[in-house]
Amino acid sequence: ELKVEQNPLFLSMQEGKNYTIYCNYSTTSDRLYWYRQDPGKSLESLFVLLSNGAVKQEGRLMASLDTKARLSTLHITAAVHDLSATYFCAVEPGAQKLVFGQGTRLTINP
């Protein structure tokens, strides 16, 4: 059974700092996704990573994928309060469905 593990599960950081969220998965996957979810809201797609070595950046967020290590990272640069949310990674193991991690609840303090 495919497992997706994120760490940390909770992250409290100060504005202006950098940090990384890690996403490990247990079996081969075609694609990896990062989503953002605000409280009580649905999922907003951030990045889709399609191949080994893929790197994508949008604003203060950068995602990368290492398929050999079965690891993706979401790096936050110079955090701002607006980035406070829960971040999920999800893997699509070729079965037309997504398997999600537990989520990382990020709180950015002024």
Partner 1 sequence: DTGVSQNPRHKITKRGQNVTFRCDPISEHNRLYWYRQTLGQGPEFLTYFQNEAQLEKSRLLSDRFSAERPKGSFSTLEIQRTEQGDSAMYLCASSRQGVFTEAFFGQGTRLTVV
Residue list 75-104, contact with partner 1 (CB under 8 A): 88, 90, 95-103
109 is a contact residue toward partner 1 (CB under 8 A): no
Work out how close the CB of 110 gets to partner 1 at its nearest, in angstroms, rounded to a whole number: 25
Region for residue 26 given its phi and psi (left: phi exceeds 0; alpha: psi -120 to 50; beta: otherwise): alpha
CA proximity to 13, closest of 87, 109, 86, 88:
109
Tokens 């081969």 belong to which residue? 28
Dist. CA 52–CA 16, nearest whole Å: 30
39 is a contact residue toward partner 1 (CB under 8 A): no
How far is the CA of 103 from the CAs of 51, 82, 110, in angstroms?
A: 22, 18, 23
25 is a contact residue toward partner 1 (CB under 8 A): no
Span interacting with partner 1, options 11-19, 32-40, 51-59, 66-74, rule CB under 8 A: 32-40
Instruction: Report the interface residues with partner 1, using CB under 8 A.
Output: 4, 31, 33, 35, 40-43, 45, 48, 50, 88, 90, 95-103
